[in-house]
């Protein structure tokens, strides 16, 4: 069975990010540091043993994966050119998740409300700069 998941590279704080995501979304977290994996031949860099080589969080409806970026890779995480779209079937649960991301140091980008196309939709940046979009289809949502 084919699957598609998100992969995010963090600038040295992947463990903190994935621990936060597990607190917000729940789910099963696998966190592997470079010290946990066998030495790999041909690595183009010497990894920090405490850096995250791979993180995987299985949440209701999907999977979030990532790790720490390779040394020398620097880029802006915060942007609106992408977001993680989390489609839910319960307006209240979507609001709870948004509130948890904001309470955890994030900021509202677009309030979660009834959108012109009939769904509830909103956007929030988490404290790591990742934009999360939440959508609840009109047939699953509630009024206002």
- State residue 142's pLDDT score: 52
Tell me how far the alpha carbon of residue 4 is from its chain's centroid: 14
Kindly list the domain boundaries of the chain, sorted by start residue: 6-68, 84-136
What number does CATH give the domain 6-68? 3.10.180.10
Which H or E element spans position 97?
A: helix 91-103
Q: Which CATH number fits domain 84-136: 3.40.1010.10, 3.10.180.10, 3.40.50.300, 3.50.30.10?
A: 3.10.180.10
Q: What are the tens digits of pLDDT across the range 54-108?
A: 999 999 999 999 999 887 777 777 777 789 999 999 999 999 999 999 999 999 9
Q: Are the beta carbons of 30 and 22 closer than 8 angstroms?
A: no
* pLDDT per position as a tens digit, 116-129: 999 999 999 999 99
What pLDDT is recorded for position 140? 63
pLDDT of residue 104: 98
């Amino acid at each position: 069975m084919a699957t598609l998941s998100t992969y995010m590279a963090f600038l040295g704080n992947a463990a903190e990010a994935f621990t936060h995501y597990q607190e917000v979304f729940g789910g099963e977290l696998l966190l592997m540091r470079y010290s946990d994996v066998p030495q790999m031949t041909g690595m183009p860099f010497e990894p920090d043993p405490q850096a995250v080589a791979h993180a995987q969080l299985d949440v209701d409806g999907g999977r979030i994966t990532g790790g720490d970026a390779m040394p020398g890779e620097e880029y802006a995480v915060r942007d609106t050119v992408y977001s993680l779209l989390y489609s839910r079937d319960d307006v209240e649960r979507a609001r709870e998740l948004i509130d948890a991301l904001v309470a955890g140091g994030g900021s509202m980008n677009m309030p979660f409300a009834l959108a012109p196309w009939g769904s509830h939709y909103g956007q929030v940046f988490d404290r790591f700069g990742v934009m999360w979009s939440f959508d609840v289809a009109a047939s699953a949502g509630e009024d206002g």
